[in-house]
Amino acid sequence: MFKPTVLATALAAALGTSLSAYAADDQGLAQMREEIRQMKQDYEARIQALEKRLQTAETQAAPAQAATAPAVPTAAAAGSANAFNPAISATLGGTYANLSQDPAKFRIRGFVPGAEPIGPGNRSFNLGESELTLSTNIDPLFAGQLTFALAPDNSVSVEEAFFQTKDLSNGVNLKGGRFLSSIGYLNSIHAHAWDFVDAPLAYQAFFGGQYKTDGLQFRWLAPTERFFELGLEAGNGGSFPGNLRNKNGIGSTALFAHVGDDIGESGSWRLGLSYLNSSATNRPFDDVDSSGAAVTDAISGHANTWIADGIYKWAPNGNATQTNFKLQGEYFQRRESGTLTYDTLAQSSGTAAGGYSSAQSGWYLQGVYQFQPMWRVGLRYDKLHSGTPDIGLINSGALTAADFSRLASYNPSRTSLMFDFSPSEFSRFRLQLARDKSRPDATDNQIFLQYIMSLGVHGAHTF
């Protein structure tokens, strides 16, 4: 708004000549006063009009600023993040699947299945797993996040629920609660941010999808120019390949190390090595014995899993808006030993138990190329090696290999090709074609159409 001194100056300048002309008689003074009154009214009307225009402009600018606001609250934006207290976001997803083989008979031959269902999902239209996330800065020391997973069967589960510190001294930070483990590369990334519709076969075989834990995570970021971090996780071990054992203490331990750097202005890379130790007590799985009868077997023992991961990203002069390329891969190796119990429910010939050990491995390699804004193409190849398990009940002659059909040696593989279109950072449509050889008796030719929609504040994804 105009200050009174500015208005007085403007009036004096405008009326400078009028003062001398009308100062001699009363009629001139009255006329001058009328002109002054009219000019004041005119200026006040103009000021009010400007104020209304300013208010309208601010109202229209607010949604645009919210849409273009940074996805991840920074230290400078902590106040604005707390203004919503908490920030709420949701991710909606769904698919249409055309499968040449019955998905109810999906198996990864040679590998003990986890507790969670895996595979391509149902045929036709399917509501995918949606997520609802609440996050906020709790106080100057802590931030928190709660993510619910909404399944197509209308069930709700807690995907993540954790607190984490905000930059403790010497690069050390702590996370506690339920969280996706930082082992490997893809494990800590939510499914809606994957480059393909489904998880690699190695993740399905070794973790039953993704490995999450209830526990604590310590992470140390080295004060060096080259990115280097070390991490330790201690949890209850309730996720596959472990299970809840009704014991005090730590049920699983994970270690991870990551190092990365830039290659000139256009390239960057990261390498990692991770280790997971977990234990299980009578972890059940379904099988079919030599007579074709359904049985429930169980494994008790320890599983040691190693993961080596690597990723390379390229974008001309570091600008990934127009064109970019990403090459990503991981190698898994697991050694498991303990006791295998046959027919725990006595569904067939009776319960029996013996020693068990296995050495298995798997890997995947994928490349994704954005050839122009909003359009990408990707190719992924998966491979697993089941090895030949050492089963005491077979070695002793008590049972035959046909009584453990799911554990018969096999090397599953799969090739996937995808195209996706992203009108904005909040929406994506994807076509994926896959040739899945997870079962020795049939090849599953798969076609997927997928949509992913993000609502509300959405954090930036990891490197």
255, part of any domain: yes
Scanning the structure block, which residue is given the tokens 């510190």?
A: 165
Q: Which of 3-7, 81-85, 193-197 has the highest mean pLDDT?
A: 193-197
Looking at residue 27, what is its pLDDT?
Answer: 67
Looking at residue 142, what is its pLDDT?
Answer: 92
Looking at residue 323, what is its pLDDT?
Answer: 94
Which three-class secondary structure state does DSSP give residue 277? strand
462, part of any domain: no
Q: Would you say residue 82 has pLDDT above 60?
A: no
Q: Would you say residue 8 has pLDDT above 60?
A: no
289, part of any domain: yes
- Residues 6 or more apart whose Cβ sits within 8 Å of residue 165: 141, 142, 173, 174, 175
Looking at 18, 48, 63, the residue that finishes a domain is 63
Same domain, 46 and 111: no
For residue 443, the one-letter residue type is T
Q: How far is CA 212 from CA 253, 276, 336, in A?
A: 12, 12, 19
Q: Choose among 189, 169, 269: nearest CA to 226.
A: 269
Confidence of residue 459 (pLDDT cuts 50, 70, 90): low
DSSP code at position 248 = S
Same domain, 10 and 94: no
Number of other residues whose CB lies within 10 A of the CB of residue 124 = 9
Looking at residue 83, what is its pLDDT?
Answer: 52
79, part of any domain: no
Same domain, 286 and 419: yes
Same domain, 289 and 389: yes
Looking at residue 307, what is its pLDDT?
Answer: 98
Looking at residue 56, what is its pLDDT?
Answer: 64
Looking at residue 60, what is its pLDDT?
Answer: 57
Looking at residue 61, what is its pLDDT?
Answer: 52
The residue ranking higher by pLDDT, 417 or 396, is 417
Looking at residue 121, what is its pLDDT?
Answer: 87
Q: Which residues pair with 309 in a beta bridge?
A: 272, 330
Its domain, for residue 116, covers: 87-456
Looking at residue 382, what is its pLDDT?
Answer: 96
Same domain, 103 and 47: no
Looking at residue 309, what is its pLDDT?
Answer: 97
Looking at residue 335, what is its pLDDT?
Answer: 95
201 CB burial (10 A radius; 0-12, 13-18, 19+): buried
385, part of any domain: yes
341, part of any domain: yes
CATH number at residue 284: 2.40.160.10
Looking at residue 168, what is its pLDDT?
Answer: 81
Looking at residue 124, what is its pLDDT?
Answer: 94
Looking at residue 171, what is its pLDDT?
Answer: 87
- Residues 6 or more apart whose Cβ sits within 8 Å of residue 350: 343
Q: Would you say residue 35 has pLDDT above 90?
A: no
Number of other residues whose CB lies within 10 A of the CB of residue 249 = 8
Confidence of residue 70 (pLDDT cuts 50, 70, 90): very low
pTM: 0.79
pLDDT in tens, 221-232: 999 999 999 999
Looking at residue 119, what is its pLDDT?
Answer: 83
Looking at 63, 78, 97, the residue that finishes a domain is 63
69, part of any domain: no
Same domain, 239 and 366: yes
Looking at residue 84, what is its pLDDT?
Answer: 54
165 CB burial (10 A radius; 0-12, 13-18, 19+): middle
Same domain, 130 and 21: no
Same domain, 311 and 195: yes
Q: Choose among 228, 463, 204: nearest CA to 328.
A: 463
- Residues 6 or more apart whose Cβ sits within 8 Å of residue 31: 22
Q: Would you say residue 112 has pLDDT above 90?
A: no
CB-based contact 216:210 (threshold 8 Å): no
Same domain, 34 and 142: no
- Token pair of 312 as six digits: 């390379």
Confidence of residue 86 (pLDDT cuts 50, 70, 90): confident
Confidence of residue 356 (pLDDT cuts 50, 70, 90): very high
Q: How many domains does the chain have?
A: 2
Looking at residue 181, what is its pLDDT?
Answer: 95
Looking at 63, 79, 99, the residue that finishes a domain is 63
115, part of any domain: yes
pLDDT in tens, 37-67: 777 777 677 777 777 677 666 655 544 444 4
Looking at residue 77, what is its pLDDT?
Answer: 44
Burial 400-413 (b: 16+ CB within 10 A, else e): eeebbebbeebebb
Q: How far is CA 343 from CA 61, 114, 124, 167, 183, in A?
A: 67, 17, 35, 51, 34
Same domain, 198 and 278: yes
pLDDT in tens, 277-330: 999 999 998 888 888 888 999 999 999 999 999 999 999 988 888 999 999 999
CB-based contact 419:395 (threshold 8 Å): no
Same domain, 256 and 191: yes
Looking at residue 170, what is its pLDDT?
Answer: 86
Q: Choose among 300, 296, 271: nearest CA to 283.
A: 300
Same domain, 53 and 156: no
Strands (E), 207-323: 212-221, 227-235, 252-263, 267-288, 294-314
Looking at residue 368, what is its pLDDT?
Answer: 97
Q: Choose among 235, 221, 219, 223: nearest CA to 164.
A: 219
The H or E element spanning position 364 is strand 352-372
Q: Which residues pair with 300 in a beta bridge?
A: 339
